[in-house]
C-alpha cells in the first residue's frame, strides 16, 4: 500500500489521495509512525516483510519464500528438498524469436483463476514432472515445484522483470531454464490460451521459477505471545506462514488476492473469530494494493485502498465498537510497492495503532507523509507485534 508521491495525484501518494475516513478516524484517536519491516541487507519481499510484521525476525527464520507457500498447500517437504515458486506468467508472443528474447508482460496472467491455472499446470506437469521435479497447484497464478535434492539457486522474481526482455534474468541452472522454455512451447497454443485471447485476456503462456528455499521451522506464535491467532488471507505465502507458526487459517469464499476479492467476507471472518470463536488476534492480509502496484495502475491502487477502508475496516470498527469489547487494531503495509517501479522496495512503512481503552485526540491522518513527521519509529519490524500486544 505504501508508495511515493505521484504527479497524476497532485503530488500525493495513493494512500494520501484515497478517501479513507475509517483509517483517518482511527489515526486521530491513535498513534501513527513508521516501521522498518525489512532488515538491512535482505530483499524486500512479501515473505521477509510479513514474517517481520507477525513477529519473526527474518534474519533468524527466513529459509525462502516457496517453502512457506508449500506449507500452505500441504506439500510434503523433506529436509533435502528445495521448494520453488512457479508463477504462470504472460510473455510476449512475437513470432520466430528465441525464448530468451521475449518480454514479460504480466507476472499474474491477468490474475488468472485457480481453475484455469490448474489446467495449464497439469499440461506442463504431464510432460515435465518426474522423480526430481514435482508440480503442485496453489492459488491463481502462484504455484509450487518441489526439487528433490535440489539447490537454493539464485532466481529473479517475475515482478522485478515486468516490461523487460527476460534473457539476463533466466535461471543459471540449465534444467530449470529448459523447463521454463519448454513450458512456453506447451502453453503457447493450449486450447485454454486460445480461448483467453478470444476473450481479450492475456495468455498464461509460461512458467517462471523463483523464490527457492528449504524446509522452514518457525516457532509457535501461541508459545511466544500466548494469543490464539487466526490468519485471513487469499495468498498461499501468508497461509504458509500461519501453518508454520501454528496459527489457524480461515478460508474466505471469493477471496482471490485480486482487486475484486471478497472484502466483506474477510471482515466477517475476523469479527466472527474475535467475538464468537474465542480468538485473541486476527491477521487480515489484503493483496490488492500490492497487485495494483505491480500493475502500475494508480487509479486501481487508490480504489484498492478505499475498498479496504470501506469494505473491511468500516465493518470491523462498527462491529467491535458495538460489541463493548476492548480492542487494539494495527494497520500497516508489509512493504512499499511504488507505482513508478512496479516492484517492492525496502523503505520503512507507515503504521497506525489504535487502542479503544485509551483514545487520543490528534489532528493527523494516516499516510506516509504524516507518519514520518510524527517522529515515531519502530526500528525492527519484528518488534511491532509485541508493541501491539504490550502497549
pLDDT digits (tens, 9 = 90+) for 3-52: 999 999 999 999 999 999 999 999 999 999 999 999 999 999 999 999 99
The pLDDT of residue 44: 94
pLDDT above 70: residue 307: yes
Confidence category of residue 72, pLDDT binned at 50, 70, 90: confident
The domain 7-62+219-390 having CATH identifier 3.40.720.10: the answer here is yes
Region of poorest pLDDT, from 192-196, 233-237, 282-286: 233-237
The pLDDT of residue 352: 98
Question: How confident is the model over 344-374, as pLDDT tens digits?
Answer: 999 999 999 999 999 999 999 999 999 999 9
The model's pTM is: 0.82
- State the average pLDDT for the chain: 96
DSSP 201: P
Confidence category of residue 76, pLDDT binned at 50, 70, 90: confident
The pLDDT of residue 64: 87
Helix 314-323 to helix 21-28 angle (10° resolution) is 50
| Domain boundaries defined on the chain | 7-62+219-390, 82-213
pLDDT above 90: residue 65: no
- pLDDT (mean) for 89-115: 96
Q: The C-alpha cell of 240 is what?
A: 504458509
CA separation for the pair 220, 349 (Å, rounded): 26
Region of poorest pLDDT, from 62-71, 308-317, 367-376: 62-71
The pLDDT of residue 216: 86
pLDDT above 70: residue 391: no
Amino acid at each position: 500500500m505504501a508508495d511515493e508521491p505521484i504527479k497524476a495525484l497532485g503530488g500525493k501518494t495513493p494512500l494520501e489521495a484515497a478517501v479513507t475516513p475509517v483509517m483517518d478516524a482511527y489515526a486521530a484517536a491513535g498513534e501513527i509512525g513508521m516501521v522498518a519491516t525489512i532488515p538491512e541487507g535482505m530483499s524486500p519481499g512479501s515473505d521477509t516483510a510479513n514474517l517481520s510484521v507477525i513477529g519473526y525476525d527474518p534474519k533468524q527464520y527466513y529459509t525462502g519464500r516457496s517453502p512457506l507457500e508449500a506449507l500452505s498447500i500441504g506439500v510434503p517437504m523433506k529436509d533435502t528438498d528445495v521448494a520453488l515458486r512457479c508463477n504462470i506468467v504472460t510473455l510476449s508472443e512475437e513470432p520466430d524469436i528465441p525464448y530468451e528474447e521475449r518480454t514479460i508482460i504480466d507476472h499474474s496472467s491477468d490474475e488468472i483463476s485457480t481453475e484455469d491455472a490448474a489446467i495449464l499446470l497439469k499440461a506442463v506437469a504431464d510432460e515435465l514432472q518426474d522423480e526430481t521435479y514435482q508440480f503442485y497447484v496453489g492459488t491463481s497464478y502462484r504455484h509450487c515445484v518441489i526439487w528433490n535434492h535440489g539447490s537454493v539457486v539464485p532466481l529473479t522474481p517475475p515482478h522485478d522483470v515486468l516490461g523487460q526482455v527476460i534473457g539476463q534474468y533466466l535461471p543459471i541452472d540449465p534444467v530449470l531454464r529448459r523447463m521454463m522454455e519448454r513450458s512456453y512451447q506447451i502453453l503457447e497454443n493450449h486450447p485454454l490460451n486460445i480461448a483467453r485471447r478470444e476473450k481479450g485476456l492475456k495468455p498464461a503462456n509460461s512458467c517462471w521459477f523463483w523464490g527457492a528455499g528449504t524446509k522452514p521451522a518457525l516457532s509457535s506464535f501461541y508459545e511466544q505471545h500466548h494469543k490464539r491467532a487466526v490468519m485471513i488471507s487469499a495468498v498461499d505465502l501468508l497461509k504458509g506462514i500461519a501453518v508454520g507458526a501454528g496459527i489457524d487459517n480461515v478460508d474466505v469464499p471469493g477471496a482471490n488476492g485480486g482487486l475484486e476479492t471478497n472484502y466483506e467476507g474477510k471482515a466477517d471472518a475476523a469479527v466472527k473469530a474475535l467475538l464468537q470463536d474465542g480468538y485473541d488476534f486476527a491477521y487480515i492480509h489484503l493483496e490488492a494494493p500490492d497487485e495494483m502496484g505491480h500493475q502500475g495502475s494508480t487509479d486501481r491502487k487508490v480504489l484498492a485502498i478505499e475498498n479496504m477502508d470501506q469494505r473491511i475496516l468500516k465493518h470491523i470498527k462498527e462491529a467491535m465498537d458495538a460489541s463493548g469489547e476492548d480492542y487494539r487494531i494495527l494497520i500497516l503495509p508489509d512493504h512499499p510497492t511504488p507505482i513508478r517501479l512496479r516492484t517492492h522496495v525496502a523503505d520503512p512503512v507507515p503504521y497506525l495503532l489504535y487502542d479503544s481503552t485509551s483514545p487520543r485526540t490528534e489532528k493527523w491522518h494516516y499516510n506516509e507523509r504524516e507518519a514520518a513527521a510524527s517522529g515515531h519509529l519502530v526500528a525492527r519490524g519484528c518488534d511491532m507485534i509485541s508493541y501491539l500486544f504490550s502497549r
